[in-house]
């Protein structure tokens, strides 16, 4: 952590991009339980007065804004397919067109998995999630086959990726969290010496690590897998410890 903090130089333009589930809040058994505590909201508000902060999530834009509940931040939702900063909101045009097809696809998956107890199929507007954290492990392989089969029936218009106990269904287009971040950065004023930081925990965050490149501070939360990130933090609590150190550094500026 000390090595990372040496690069947080007061006076430089700092852009902080943060994943949500598994980074700012522990992953919960159901997504609706992962709400940011009040004291941490107040902390992020204080930090946002000293650096630009954007929350980057696989959740829908509306959902991640509800969970965080801070108006002054920027938000990227649905794995980069939606973005909002200030009064400006953007949705990927192809994803927007495929909303009806996505809804039909998710209904097909729901119909074929009614016998799977405690499975959650979530329509997030331009993407879908099939949450199997509470599912009997014996049923996970059949679930993967059903989802893959239904996606294949759509003729290449959607694709499936897997995160932590979740199957993500997205439009089969060249777009991800990393490109969503680049899209939003185009809205920001360009300054020399800008320090870009991204912290994330899931496989989908690897796209952001790659997009930001080797001159950025990229941090994986957790252990046990290969990553493009330059650094690691052990868990959610260490993320907040790191952010607290950043705030102290910036508060020391006279």
Residue 210 structure tokens:
């790659």
Catalytic residue among 19, 63, 176, 207: 19
3-state secondary structure of 187: coil
> Measured between alpha carbons, how far is 202 from 224 in angstroms, rounded to an integer?
12
> Measured between alpha carbons, how far is 154 from 151 in angstroms, rounded to an integer?
5
Three-point CA angle 15, 18, 23, nearest 5°: 150
Known catalytic residue at 136: no
Q: How many CB atoms lie within 10 A of CB 93?
A: 10
Residue 205 DSSP one-character state: G
Look-up of token digits 């999630």: 129
Distance from the Cα of residue 154 to its chain's centroid: 26
Active site amino acids = 19
């Amino acid at each position: 952590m000390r090595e990372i903090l040496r690069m947080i130089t007061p006076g430089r333009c700092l852009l902080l991009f943060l994943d949500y589930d598994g980074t700012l809040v522990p992953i919960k058994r159901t997504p609706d339980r992962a709400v940011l505590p009040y004291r941490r909201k107040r902390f992020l508000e204080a930090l946002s007065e000293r650096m630009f902060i954007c929350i980057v999530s696989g959740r829908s834009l509306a959902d991640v804004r509800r969970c965080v509940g801070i108006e002054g931040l920027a938000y990227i939702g649905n794995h980069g397919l939606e973005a909002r900063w200030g009064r400006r909101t953007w949705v990927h045009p192809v994803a927007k067109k495929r909303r009806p097809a996505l809804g039909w696809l998710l209904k097909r998956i729901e119909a074929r998995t009614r016998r799977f107890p405690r499975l959650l199929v979530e329509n997030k507007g331009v993407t879908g999630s099939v949450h199997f954290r509470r599912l009997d492990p014996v049923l996970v392989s059949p679930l993967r086959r059903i989802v893959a089969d239904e996606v294949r029936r759509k003729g290449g218009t959607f694709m499936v990726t897997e995160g932590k106990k979740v199957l993500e269904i997205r439009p089969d287009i060249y777009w991800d969290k990393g490109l969503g971040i680049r899209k939003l950065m185009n809205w920001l004023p360009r300054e020399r010496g800008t320090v870009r930081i991204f912290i994330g925990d899931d496989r989908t965050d690897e796209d952001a690590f790659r997009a930001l490149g080797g001159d950025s501070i990229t941090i994986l939360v957790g252990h046990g897998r290969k990553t493009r990130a330059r650094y690691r933090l052990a868990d959610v609590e260490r993320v907040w410890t790191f952010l607290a150190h950043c705030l102290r550094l910036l508060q020391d500026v006279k």
